[in-house]
Amino acid sequence: MKAVAVPRRYVAVIALGTLLNPLNSSMIAVALVSLQHAFGVGFGTASWLVSGFYLAACVGQPLMGRLADRFGPRRVYCVGLAVVCAASALAPFAPGFGLVLACRVLQAIGTSAAFPAGLALIRRAAGTGRPPAGALGTIAVANSASAGFGPVLGGFLVAFAGWQGIFLVNVPLTLVTLILAFRVLPPDEPAGAARTGLVRLIDPLGILLFSGTLVGLLGFLLALPHHPLWILLPLVAVCAAGMIWWELRAPTPFLDVRGFARSPALTGVLGQQAAIQLVFYGVFYGLPMWLEESRHYSTEQAGLLMLPIAALGVVVTPVAARLVGRFGPRLPLLLGSIGLLAGSLLVFTLHDATPAIGILGVAAVLGLPNGLNNMGLQAALYSAAPPDGTGMAAGLFQTARYVGAILSTALIGLVLEPPSASGLHRIAVVMSVFAALLVVAAIATRRRSGTVRQH
């Protein structure tokens, strides 16, 4: 079935909103020192601006996706933009660190609306046929570019406007996007909350149990390298068991457990997403630490050596979009998994005497599959998500991204301390194993697909 073209202005407005989350999650990296000095807090306290954002986004993505499915994606998309605008305008005037942290949490929840609501809007326009590769490619490029170049923009803003600049830049961006959304995006149908009942519709107990499971798990992983909080594991087990028990009985479950059992394709996409991000962020976070701590490169030099990873991912995405348009998502995912395995194996060639050109070469090989994997995963998600649950599926897809990223930070803390070539090689062992499993999964998926088509 041929893909239905989605209007370009429609896609452009959605892409503007989706870049807010990766932009704000990456800009903060260059503002932490300024925030430490401004509020007189230590690095551990300041780092909660990063961890708090990730934790809130992990829960916020599926929550906002669920609300988009129930109340309409345009409404949730616009409400999310308004929340980001308000939080970003308030943060620069915060009298204490606690309010800045609260604004970061609100930012995370607000920016979490854009991707799940945006994918639901695209699904509504394009229908259930072949994934609209052009629209998905535009969003993938916007997300990759904003994440990759966020620290550069953040550094410029901090230099000229202080730490306040990384918040204030969101105000005009969200206002312009909000105006365009009202003008361009078609309105939703009337919401059915009055007929169904708001509490029953959003399943607050399911949300609470899901949040407890996820926050407990991620909190354990974040603390694992230094001071493991073993007490969180029984909490996670209790919340997870309670969530499954309740969601099997809830009239309108927040997390459709039976739906996941009936849709192994969607479950597989979420698993692939977490594994790919674990491998990718293992080197994306680990390599700069080794470059600065072991090889004694400056922060600026380490950033330049990492640039091919972000830049080539953006460059390859349009090629990946054409592959998706012609062959579907499986071929890009297979090629991306093979590239990720090749890059992981090349990490073993890095030593204390490796010249800069060799480091750039490894970074380039790791950057090439990034665009293939991101595009292939988004297209696979589009195909696997149920039409009436696209927002929720997209939210869980983003949550899987964060879970993979946080798993990678736990891995780095366990095996890269102190940063050394041998520690980097230990990370490469784990990366190579997961990348090899991804290749096997991609091959198995292609064979299974071919068997189904023959029958």
Q: Are 332 and 324 in contact (CB under 8 A)?
A: yes
48-66: pLDDT as tens digits: 888 788 888 888 899 899 8
Average pLDDT over residues 334-344: 93
- Average pLDDT of span 305-314: 81
Measured CA to CA, the distance from residue 236 to residue 211 in angstroms comes to 10
d(CA 425, CA 344): 9
Query: Which pLDDT does position 133 carry in this prediction?
Result: 80
Contact 303, 291 (CB under 8 A): no
Secondary structure class of 377 (helix, strand, coil): helix
Give residue 447's pLDDT band: very low, low, confident or very high (50, 70, 90).
low
Average pLDDT over residues 205-219: 87
Hey, what are 157's tokens? Answer: 């803003």
Total residue count of the chain as it appears in this document: 455
| Selection from 258, 21, 214, 200 nearest residue 116 by Cα | 21
What is the pLDDT, as a whole number, of residue 442?
A: 85
Q: What is the pTM of this model?
A: 0.84
DSSP assignment string, 304-351? HHHHHHHHHHHHHHHHHHHHHHHH-SHHHHHHHHHHHHHHHHHGGG--
Q: How confident is the model at residue 229 (pLDDT cuts 50, 70, 90)?
A: confident
Does residue 192 register a pLDDT over 60?
Answer: no
pLDDT tier, 446 (very low <50, low <70, confident <90, very high otherwise):
low
Helix (H) or strand (E) holding 120: helix 114-126
Q: What is the pLDDT of residues 105-155, one digit of tens each?
A: 999 999 999 999 999 998 888 776 677 888 888 888 888 777 767 777 888
The answer to whether 321 touches 137, Cβ cutoff 8 Å, is: yes
The 10s digit of each residue's pLDDT in 79-116 is 999 999 999 999 999 999 999 999 999 999 999 999 99
Q: How large is the average pLDDT for residues 152-178?
A: 90
Residue 32: what pLDDT?
79
Model pLDDT, residue 455: 41
The DSSP annotation for 42-99 comes to: -HHHHTHHHHHHHHHHHHHHHHHHHHHHHH-HHHHHHHHHHHHHHHHHHGGG-SSHHH
Contacts of 29 (CB under 8 A, 6+ apart): 50, 150, 151, 154
The encoded tokens of residue 422 equal: 């041998």
Question: What tokens appear for 26 in the block?
Answer: 């990456």
Looking at residue 353, the DSSP 8-state letter turns out to be T
Peptide bond into 418 cis (omega under 30): yes
When mean pLDDT is compared across 72-76, 102-106, 295-299, 323-327, the lowest value belongs to 295-299
Nearest to 273 by CA among 374, 392, 143: 374
The predicted structure's pLDDT at residue 88: 95
